Amino acid sequence: MSNLVEIENLHVAFRNDEGGYNDAVRGVSLTLGREKLGIVGESGSGKSLTGRSLLGVLPPYAKVSVDRMSFDGIDLKAASPRLRRSLRGGRMGMILQDPKFSLNPVMTVGKQIVEAIRIGDRKVGHREARARAIAVLESVHIRDPESVFNLYPHELSGGMGQRVMIGMMVVREPDLLIADEPTSALDVTVRTQVLSILDELVSRRGMGLIFISHDLNLVSKFCDRVIVMYAGRIVETIEASRLSEAQHPYTRGLLSCLPHIDGSLEPLPVLNRQASWAEA
Amino acid sequence: MLEVHDLNVDFSGKIAVRNTGLTVRSGESFGLVGESGSGKSTLLRTVMGLNGSWSGTIKVDGLDIRKTPRKQLARVVQMVFQDPYSSLHPRYVIGQQVAEPMRINGLPNPERRTAELLELVGLGGPKFQFRFPHELSGGQRQRVAIARALALSPKLLLLDEPTSALDVSIQAEILNLLNRLRKELGLTFVIVSHDLAVISYMCERLMVMRNAQPVETLTRDQLRAGEIANDYTRTLIAAA
């Protein structure tokens, strides 16, 4: 089976005050099958930019260059904006960190899902779209979807909002889902629930999932494969189950600086950053 | 150091904290855990005097907070907020922010003390004093917020999710800093967090809250030995 996503040598740069460019992503190459791929790194490591350039939603002032970028056999580098627009939403979806900012505050969540369905397929009637929206709310484990349909985003809790976001993204049954810190704004108990919903959807529909997070432990439990990024580069790619055997000192440092419920009370080890990590 | 009895807080009819009490000894680090909406932050804000309508008694270092003037209270208890991006003034340089509480309280030599405080939190040297918050990273901003909270030499520090907006690598640095400061300055901490691992690392005792009420209070040893009476606490530990 061919890869769902292939990226070769991706660079993203932003103009700085001196008129030059600061590289934010520097030569990232990755492939994704129908699997759960985690991208981990600190703020500013370029993990979100990698996801966004795949979707094609970077701001126009970002300078992007890539040797090859393809999605299910479609060459994204040569694709017209029109084609890319038609891929977004329909075949690739994105879940953002905070549902408070990514849902329309003045529209009921049901309407927003119906809108998402009808933008994708104008032939779907109102009644059918409504039925589908309610079905998808049910599939993300929302109790009483009929009444949630008529609620506004501010009437939902964080976990419910995030499930609505996920519902809205999967209702068009995309092949690829990019989840950018989907659970960082959620409580631990709700987090487990949201993750199991994502997991269920990915395995049932055979989607590819790119899961962007700064939480190594979470990613290692949830994903099949993990990419660790530092300063715009991939420093290590590793099977999630073997994360504890990670070789790179940065990955090891990230793992060891977490406190544990039954861990030692000595000062936590902190990252001793080496300039060489940022080199190729 | 902190005594709370029969605390009730409601926001126009909606009860945020119900019949809650707790006692924190001097020099202790006490954790509050629970999901969003469980009332843990509200409890902290009420102690700080940031909520208007509440009933019950709160005493900080023997002072009844209803009867203590604002300025005097500020010298005993200070707070560090979750998000260092919004808790610092965007148009004040770092040095000004840290000196502000000292100016308000008319303390001598705010400039010299500011330099000392910044040194204490690892932002020493003249280079940081004149920077604006947007020129600092999240971890550095949280250090500034800690320095500002220490400006009036309080005895009790209330920390509302002090590291949840930060990367794990930076979280370790801030937690180490807080532990060092507690030891050096003999501070008492009350820490709110949804992360049980952080609480277990930082606190000798903790209280679990749910639906505006305390569920149970545990010592660190009890938490680690699994001597837990309540099912909800077990769920939290399993999810952590």
pLDDT, position A270: 82
Whole-number CA gyration radius for chain B: 18
Mutate to test the interface with A, among B201, B227, B231 (most CBs of A within 10 A): B201
Amino acid letter at A106?
V
Residue A8 carries which DSSP code? Answer: E
- By DSSP bridging, strand B188-193 and strand B29-33 are parallel
CA distance B20 to B39: 10
Q: Is B173 on the interface with A (CB under 8 A)?
A: yes
Q: Which amino acid is at B37?
A: G
Is residue A279 predicted with pLDDT exceeding 80?
no
State which fold the A1-91+177-186+208-280 domain adopts. Rossmann fold (3.40.50)
Q: Which residue has the tokens 């927003």?
A: A112
Q: Do A257 and B237 count as a contact with CB atoms less than 8 A apart?
A: no
Give the best residue of A157, A195, A221, A257 to mutate against chain B (max B CB count within 10 A). Answer: A257
Q: Which two tokens stand for residue B178?
A: 């807080």
Do the chains contact at A188 and B170, CB–CB below 8 Å? no
* Distance to chain B for A125, nearest Cα, Å: 39
Nearest CB neighbour to B198, from listed A190, A259, A262? A259
Q: Do B235 and A190 touch (CB under 8 A)?
A: no
Count the helix, strand and coil residues of chain A and give each as a percent rounded to the nearest 5.
40, 25, 40
Task: Establish if A280 touches chain B: CB-CB under 8 angstroms.
Answer: no
Question: Closest residue of A to B178, CA-based?
Answer: A267
Confidence at residue A225, expressed as pLDDT on a 0 to 100 scale: 93
B200:A262 CB<8 A: yes
Note the pLDDT of residue B6.
92
CB pair distance less than 8 Å for A158 and B36? yes
- DSSP states of B186-221 as a string? T-EEEEEES-HHHHHHH-SEEEEEETTEEEEEEEHH
Minimum-distance CB partner of A192 among B171, B200, B239: B239
The enclosing H or E element of A120 equals helix A109-120
Return d(Cα B170, Cα A193) in angstroms, integer. 27
Residue A12 has pLDDT above 90, yes or no: yes
Per-residue confidence (pLDDT) for residue A280, from 0 to 100: 59
Would the CB atoms of A261 and B173 count as touching at under 8 Å? no
**CB atoms B169 and A265 under 8 Å:** no
Contacts 24+ apart (CB under 8 A), B234-240: B235/A189, B236/A188, B236/A189, B236/B33, B236/B196, B236/B208, B237/A261, B237/B196, B239/A188, B239/A189, B239/A191, B239/A192, B240/A188, B240/A261, B240/B195, B240/B196, B240/B197
SS (H, E, C) A156-224: CCHHHHHHHHHHHHHCCCCCEEEEECCCCCCCHHHHHHHHHHHHHHHHHHCCEEEEEECCHHHHHHHCC
Mutate to test the interface with A, among B167, B180, B219 (most CBs of A within 10 A): B167
pLDDT band (50, 70, 90) for residue A96 = confident
CA distance B102 to chain A (A): 31
Q: Distance (Å) from the C-alpha of residue B164 to the closest C-alpha of chain A?
A: 9
Contact A268 B195 (CB under 8 A): no
- Look at residue B15 in the predicted model and tell me its pLDDT: 87
Q: Are B60 and B1 a contacting pair, CB within 8 Å?
A: yes
Each residue of A242-263: pLDDT tens digit? 888 888 998 888 888 888 888 8
Q: Above 60 in pLDDT, residue A13?
A: yes
B119 shares contact with chain A (CB less than 8 Å) = no
* pLDDT value for B103: 92
Helix (H) or strand (E) segment spanning residue A99: helix A99-102
Whether the CB-CB separation of B53 and B1 falls below 8 Å is answered with no
Report the residue from A187, A260, A270 with minimal CB separation from B172: A270
Alpha-helix runs per DSSP H in chain B: 40-47, 70-74, 94-104, 110-120, 126-129, 138-150, 168-185, 196-202, 220-225, 231-239
| Interface contact A47, partner B, CB < 8 A | no
If we measure between CA atoms, which residue out of B82, B195, B27 comes closest to residue A263?
B195
Distance between CA A162 and CA A171 in Å, rounded?
14
What is the distance in angstroms between the Cα of B112 and the nearest Cα belonging to chain A?
29
Q: Are strands B156-160 and B188-193 parallel, antiparallel or unpaired?
A: parallel
Q: What pLDDT does residue A63 have?
A: 92
Across chain A, mean pLDDT equals: 88
Report residue B60: phi and psi, to 5°: -115, 120
What residues of chain B score a pLDDT lower than 70?
none
